[in-house]
Structure 1
Amino acid sequence: MTVPSSMSYVGLSEHGGPDNLVVTEGRTPHPRSGELLVRVEAAGINRPDVLQRKGDYPPPPDASPILGLEIAGEVVEIGDDVTGYALGDKVCALANGGGYAQYCVVPATQALPVPKGYDAVKAAALPETFFTVWANLFMMAGLKSGESVLIHGGSSGIGTTAIQLASAFGSRVFATAGTAEKCDACLGLGASRTINYRSEDFCTVIAEETGKAGVDVILDMIGAAYFERNLKSLARDGRLSIIAFLGGTFAEKVSLAPILQKRLHLMGSAMRPRTATEKQAIRDELLEKVWPLLEEGRIAPVIHAVMPYTEAAAGHRMMEHGDHIGKIMLTFD
């Protein structure tokens, strides 16, 4: 396949607001050993992209400085020591950076086949949220069938994914969201009870719904603002998995007594610092346990908006405004 020497991508003139995202031209990358070059057809916008744009989430030294952590498209070059892929394969992948571009290099061990029946937009909506939810909710927190889980930010890309996966694997799901429309959307995805955090206290609702027993697992992206109530809402041997700090990183004057009293497990992780081996393990479990559910239509990404990559700034403004339900996607001609 002929790969052009230059490509268009969404660059960042300087750290700051969405208007600092500008379409520019640059050299097309080429894969190193163990990598694929993908002609990008679609890419997802995620919260880490917003943080990187602001200067709060720098890419690793060996990663592309271009924003974008998930893509879908066509394999057009294959690096040395890569097996299992051929030119022309349609894949989606968790990128280490560089997704807002016409061409993106990804580790072959972080790529997955596009699920049967999926177009590029639906496929590109999968990697970042599904890798994150599977790793934190199932691999780390060990959510099992028959257990209960509270998912904060239920209408986000992470939240809509977590609700569907937890429900599909037999858990009772509670979810928080900020509007009646978002709560209804969470119910439609499999939550048994939604909690409008603007009018209800999730700690009170969980106590009422569980007979004061609490939930087995909480997936939290709020952090400090919810920390004390999260501890109160967990059952004995409960697990709190923290993946972001939208409500702050410092929790003051919080009693840690419930950790001892209820034998609680606290954990957290970010996806980007994980090793290539860890990401490959997540990829392998997704392919085995989750891809069949996607191809059977039992779960699917929730997509709020699709726009050309030239409008990436508008996509970032939409994400920061917070009215979206599910994923915001970019397309590439």
Structure 2
Amino acid sequence: MKKVLPSIMKHVNQTEFGGPNVLKLGESLIPQPKTNQSLIEIHSTSVNRADILQRQGKYPPPKGITNILGLEFAGYELDQQGNRLRRVMGILSGGGYAQYVAINKDHLIEIPSNIPFHTAGGISEIYLTAYLQYKLSELQQGNACLVYAAASGVGQATLQLCNLFGVKAIASCSQDKIQNIQHYTNLIVHRNQSIQDQISQIKQYQPQGVQAVFDCVGQQNYQITLDSLGMDGKWILYGLLTGGSIDKFNLAPLLIKRIHLINSTLRSRSDQFKAQLVQEFKINILPFIENGQISIPIESVTKVTWDQQGINQIIGLHTLMESNKNVGKLIIQFLNE
């Protein structure tokens, strides 16, 4: 069916940094695809922690990237006449909170026929992030790792990859979220315990230390990380939820244990890097999503219209994420006109 494209699209706009209420309904020109790009009609996206930080002014988009929030999408790839070609999903450096986005063709992932749009809108960001970090960890079957924020989207994705590839995963989360991840692992510590109690429990689970720590927390957990890693362990740092400044930080444990500190981000990576990652993901991970061995952790699906009521719903989702009460993805399903 031929779709007549308008020249203007609606998107979620913000003209200042601040709380969720700075989000407004905006309009802009539909992006014009460059060479090797496709125009996507977006049907779903999700709220990610990075969206919260960007809205607050703490995580600016890479140079030359739109200020529109949204790091992933699911929708239709369109041809030059606006005809729908196929259902696709993928990661973005920005622009997911909109009716349309232009994206590198090599970053597109065709959505399996048994996956609905609302589910697909919550796949790319967490599973590509988790897969990248898993690759960097170089974990082997029989190894052990520690996963912080294990009830988050990326946390649950990481636990599932560990189970898939035979890695012993120790999970860390808040006490009230333990029941949400017990089906992935029964090796769990919670942050309501003292730091020393957490360290002791991890050592009971893995006396010789873990081979990798997946860390989006930063400052608050650095001592747990240093004490939990074994010889030649890898500290995969991909976020700083509690800050990155550590007073009187002692480098000695890194040297003594030969700890590898690996800093990982995905948003600012090159198009070539993302294209290669997507290609590997299609081969190594997507089949397990399609056959149900990997399930998508979804907290809620909110159907949103492009009006003030819809903006209010998105404001509510941002407020919910800031409260840290959600477990899994907060999906936005757009009801396009």
Matched, 1:196 2:193: no
Task: Report sequence identity in percent.
Answer: 29
Q: Secondary structure at the match of 1:131?
A: helix
Inter-CA distance 277–295: structure 2 relative to 1 (3 Å threshold): same
- Of 234, 237, 241, the residue aligned with 2:236 is 241
Moved over 4 A (4+): none
Provide the residue aligned with 1:318 in structure 2.
Answer: 320
- Of 41, 66, 71, the residue aligned with 2:43 is 41
Provide the residue aligned with 1:124 in structure 2.
Answer: 121
Deviation at 1:87, TM superposition (A): 4.1
Q: Which moved more, 1:260-269 or 1:40-49?
A: 260-269
Provide the residue aligned with 1:135 in structure 2.
Answer: 132
Deviation at 1:62, TM superposition (A): 2.1
Provide the residue aligned with 2:95 in structure 1.
Answer: 98
Give, as a single letter, the amino acid of the residue that structure 2 aligns with 1:198. Answer: N
Provide the C-alpha distance between the structure 2 equivalents of 1:241 and 1:61, rounded to a whole number of angstroms: 25
Deviation at 1:57, TM superposition (A): 1.4
Give, as a single letter, the amino acid of the residue that structure 2 aligns with 1:118. Answer: I
List alignment gaps of at least 5 residues for structure 2: 305-309
8 Å CA contact 2:151–2:173 kept in 1: the answer is yes
Matched, 1:185 2:187: no
Provide the residue aligned with 1:31 in structure 2.
Answer: 33
Alignment of 1:19-168 (within 5 A): 19-77=21-79, 87-138=84-135, 140-168=136-164
- Of 315, 324, 328, the residue aligned with 2:330 is 328
Aligned residues, how many?
323
Q: Which moved more, 1:47-56 or 1:307-316?
A: 307-316
8 Å CA contact 1:31–1:78 kept in 2: the answer is no
Provide the C-alpha distance between the structure 2 equivalents of 1:64 and 1:326, rounded to a whole number of angstroms: 26
Q: Secondary structure at the match of 1:191?
A: coil
Give, as a single letter, the amino acid of the residue that structure 1 aligns with 2:167. Answer: S
**Over residues 279-299 of structure 1, what are the superposed CA-to-partner deviations in whole Å (9 max), with x where a residue is unaligned?**
111111110000110011001
Provide the C-alpha distance between the structure 1 equivalents of 2:142 and 2:260, rounded to a whole number of angstroms: 19
Provide the C-alpha distance between the structure 1 equivalents of 2:248 and 2:185, rounded to a whole number of angstroms: 32
Provide the residue aligned with 1:217 in structure 2.
Answer: 212
8 Å CA contact 1:146–1:170 kept in 2: the answer is yes
Deviation at 1:321, TM superposition (A): 0.3
Provide the residue aligned with 1:299 in structure 2.
Answer: 294
Alignment of 1:243-262 (within 5 A): 243-262=238-257
Provide the residue aligned with 1:170 in structure 2.
Answer: 166
8 Å CA contact 1:145–1:171 kept in 2: the answer is yes
Provide the C-alpha distance between the structure 2 equivalents of 1:331 and 1:292, rounded to a whole number of angstroms: 24
Q: Secondary structure at the match of 2:172?
A: strand
Deviation at 1:78, TM superposition (A): 5.5
Provide the C-alpha distance between the structure 1 equivalents of 2:227 and 2:80, rounded to a whole number of angstroms: 51
Provide the C-alpha distance between the structure 1 equivalents of 2:182 and 2:258, rounded to a whole number of angstroms: 31
Provide the C-alpha distance between the structure 1 equivalents of 2:302 and 2:200, rounded to a whole number of angstroms: 40
TM-score, normalization: structure 1?
A: 0.93
Provide the residue aligned with 1:83 in structure 2.
Answer: none
**Over residues 183-204 of structure 1, what are the superposed CA-to-partner deviations in whole Å (9 max), with x where a residue is unaligned?**
121121x223111210353211
Give, as a single letter, the amino acid of the residue that structure 1 aligns with 2:243. Answer: G
Provide the C-alpha distance between the structure 1 equivalents of 2:203 and 2:100, rounded to a whole number of angstroms: 50
Inter-CA distance 116–192: structure 2 relative to 1 (3 Å threshold): farther
8 Å CA contact 1:39–1:75 kept in 2: the answer is yes
Give, as a single letter, the amino acid of the residue that structure 2 aligns with 1:214. Answer: G
Provide the C-alpha distance between the structure 2 equivalents of 1:32 and 1:124, rounded to a whole number of angstroms: 24
Provide the C-alpha distance between the structure 2 equivalents of 1:38 and 1:193, rounded to a whole number of angstroms: 42
Q: Secondary structure at the match of 1:164?
A: helix
Deviation at 1:125, TM superposition (A): 0.6
Deviation at 1:228, TM superposition (A): 2.1
Provide the C-alpha distance between the structure 2 equivalents of 1:286 and 1:41, rounded to a whole number of angstroms: 22
**What RMSD, in angstroms, separates the aligned Cα atoms of the two structures?**
1.6
